[in-house]
Amino acid sequence: MTDKQLTVDLYIRVSTDRQAKEGDSLEEQESELKKFCDYRNFKIHQVLIEKGKSGGNTNRPEYKKLVADIEAKKINAVVVKKLDRLSRSLLDFEQLMTRLQEKEVEFISLRENFDTTTAMGKAMLRIALVFAQLEREQTSERISDVMHYRATQGQRNGGVAPFGYVSANKELLISNAQKPIVEQIFKLFLETASTSAVANHLNDARILLPGGKVWRETRVEWILKNPIYKGMVIWKKEIYPGLHQPIISPSVWDQVQDIFDSKKRHAANNHSFALLQKSVICAECQNPLTPSFAYNRTKTKYWYYRCGSTKHGQHSRKQVGCSFKYISFIKLHLAFQDAIRELSEAHHMTDLDTKITAHNDALLLSIKELSDQIKLYEDEVKSFKSKKIEYIDALVLKQFSTQDHQKIHERINELETDIKKHSSQISQNQLEIVQLNNQLLTSETIKETLLKLRDTSQDQPEYKVLLQKIIQTVEVSSKELLFHFKTLPWTVKITINSS
């Protein structure tokens, strides 16, 4: 095939204003690509311009048009200025390359001088992609090593300060207002061996969480099982002595864990058919819904989920202000089954993908901005170090008055301070990037699990396992279910069929 026969799509992308200012604007890319096509006698089929979109995923409108042209065999080649304009993901690019090869469409990138119309171009492209991925993985490993080292030194790797503590200058300090509540939680649990009893006691006493939220069993259990309260820090399931002050003694913490272990062994020997136990809470008062039963007129046992606010009688329920009392096992289980079936429908899956893409795009933009800041700080640190060396060399090679000598030393000290400040900011930005990367979402696990739940009978043991894999809690009212998924920062509402 000669150059005259090639029909091409030009793909152009700018994700930030900063790129435009650095000579990578849409106009600059388009001009350079058109000049190249004119030189090679290529016929331009479409100029696809992507504005403000990240290259970290393929959910881009112009990119989809490009793929459609490839699939329809409307073009013979794709031309871009730089490889990262098309994709920053090795996996995504490999998939595109496979599609290009299947449709016999070539790929040309001007900056890297890749041209798959030649055998050498094909080989060089693959090698460059592998090394680019290797560099990203090594950067991630270095940051992970830094965070592991911080944990071994007793430092927490960011995040919101747990209840009972406040964060000051990246250190955990005991909150004088919340410390007595944490101590009371451990004391009550040792007396009652019940997280629901502890939560109900706190709610009855109007000792509420920040924002006036009521206590739930899950929140109480999280505190009771968190070793941070005995002065430890956790990193990747490993526990290390922390630098912060403990609120609970190790012996008290160990006694509490012994109770949990005993209850776990007992539960393993007594299988409960309360399918949604520990997963459902009252939408009105946020208390857990727990299994209970009564006998009807024929002396047949009738099972239902009971709102925790009713456990201590009418007086307690009035204090919490909840009017929801109970819902039958059958009604809730059927409603839950219908909800899973609805969540598995195509329009819900599509909506999930759209929300996750928007969420990830925002995070990737923040990661890009932090990476750009790191580069600026690194350049400034390099400049500071160079100036410091110059001042030191001057002190060695030249003679200065005592006053000038003192001024040079003061300037060297200032540069050392600037280097430390910038290095600290680089570490902080790297930590924030790791935290943002950890917030990136994928819909695959949720979608696969929902489909498995839809096709699994509720009386099968694996149903509850699948449920606990993706569901944090489900708020229940007489009219709707509000799903809180473990990996999603938003909720999904499903109306209960009244029929």
Cβ-based neighbours of 217, under 8 Å, separated by 6 or more: 195, 196, 199, 278, 288, 308
Cβ-based neighbours of 76, under 8 Å, separated by 6 or more: 1, 5, 6, 7, 8, 104, 105, 106
Please determine, looking at this structure, whether the domain spanning 165-268 carries the CATH number 3.90.1750.20.
Answer: yes
Q: CA-CA distance, 81 to 109, in Å (whole number)?
A: 5
Please determine, looking at this structure, whether the domain spanning 3-144 carries the CATH number 3.40.50.1390.
Answer: yes
Q: Provide the residue type at 381 as one letter.
A: V
> Contact, 6 vs 17, CB < 8 A?
no
Is the pTM value of this prediction over 0.75? no
> Contact, 121 vs 114, CB < 8 A?
yes
Picking from 47, 133, 44, the residue whose alpha carbon sits closest to that of residue 87 is 133
Task: Annotate 365-386 with three-state secondary structure.
Answer: HHHHHHHHHHHHHHHHHHHHHH
Count of C-beta atoms within a 10 Å radius of residue 116: 22
Name the token pair of 265: 């062994």
Which spans in 1-55 are helix H?
17-19, 26-40
Picking from 442, 472, 466, 436, the residue whose alpha carbon sits closest to that of residue 352 is 442
**Per-residue model confidence as pLDDT tens for the chain (499 residues):** 444 568 999 999 886 544 444 446 788 888 889 988 888 889 999 999 988 777 667 788 899 999 999 999 999 999 998 877 887 666 677 778 878 888 889 889 888 777 777 777 777 766 766 665 666 666 667 777 777 777 788 777 777 888 999 988 778 899 999 999 999 999 999 988 888 889 889 988 899 888 888 998 889 999 999 999 998 888 877 888 888 899 999 999 999 998 888 777 655 544 446 778 888 999 988 888 888 888 777 777 788 888 888 765 443 444 456 888 888 888 888 888 888 898 889 888 888 888 888 888 998 999 999 999 999 999 998 999 889 888 888 877 777 788 888 888 888 889 888 988 898 888 888 888 888 887 888 888 888 888 888 888 887 778 888 888 888 899 998 888 999 988 888 888 888 876 5
